Amino acid sequence: MKTPLALTIAGSDSGGGAGIQADLKTFSALGVYGASVIAALTAQNTRGVTAIHDVPADFVVAQMDAVFSDLDVGAVKIGMLSQPAVIEAVAEGLSRHGQQRVVLDPVMVATSGDRLISEDAVAVLRDVLLPKAMVITPNLPEAAALLGAPVARTESEMKDQARRLCALGPQAVVVKGGHAAGAESVDILITQDAEVRLAANRIDTPNTHGTGCTLSSAIAAGLALGHDLSAAVSEAKVYLTEALAASDRLTIGHGAGPVHHFHKWWG
């Protein structure tokens, strides 16, 4: 029987709560083997990002080639890509290796507010990588930045921005409402022919470090397990909500703590 396997292409978080580390934890928690391509190193903890070291594009390519030439990758999650050359290299590698189940989390700003991507990389991300994605998962500020628009304030505006993003090339868009207010945390999934409202009770916790990474990698895990996109997104929303609700069982750092990826197994 084939082992389900997902690949994350993202930045490393030395504090362990986001990026590559959150992705691999999520894959493992959901029963999927995780492989990784590190596109950047960050000096980071729960309080913020103090330094970023970019991995050269040719070495990112070497990592991708090593993984795809040997491992049967069921889905790819893409996170922090901070430089235009790396974004272009990843897009070309996806095409060269025929990858279609691609989940793109257009990471631009850390939970702490620190910027993670250069200004000139945003346009390359939008023009070169978005069309390669099965689904993209921007939060409200990221959706606005990709469109050059104000941040959506209502569900109607979220739907409108999701449709506009879908027109840029991805097969589907999940606009995440975690930055909004209200008793519910509402995400909107838009595909070429469907619209799904995904709601959960908003969890009152400061431990939100790595939430975007966790959701997108959970979607990739679902795809690697053979689930269709709608099911993968819905199951990922449930997993993240439960991980947020259990986050106060962890005591990590002095800032925005991580979600509890292994809440089902740790006592």
Residue 185, both tokens:
């945390």
Q: Is 208 a catalytic residue?
A: yes
Q: Is 222 a catalytic residue?
A: no
Catalytic choice (176, 177, 191, 214): 176
Phi/psi of residue 17, nearest 5 degrees: -95, -20
Catalytic choice (15, 42, 213, 214): 213
- Give the distance from CA 17 to its chain's centroid: 13
Residue 105, both tokens:
């989390």
- Dihedral Cα 182, 186, 190, 196, nearest 10 deg: -120
Residues 155 and 143: beta-carbon distance below 8 Å: no
DSSP class of residue 127? I
- How far lies 262's CA from each of 32, 58, 135, 250, in Å? 14, 34, 25, 10
Catalytic choice (19, 34, 177, 210): 210
Catalytic choice (212, 214, 237, 257): 212
Type and span of the H or E element at 49: strand 48-54
Catalytic choice (208, 214, 241, 257): 208
- How far lies 49's CA from each of 73, 100, 112, 158, 245, in Å? 31, 32, 8, 29, 25
Q: Is 16 a catalytic residue?
A: no
Catalytic choice (211, 214, 222, 237): 211
Q: Is 176 a catalytic residue?
A: yes
Distance CA 21, CA 175 (A): 23
Distance CA 96, CA 217 (A): 22
Residues annotated as catalytic are 176, 208, 210-213
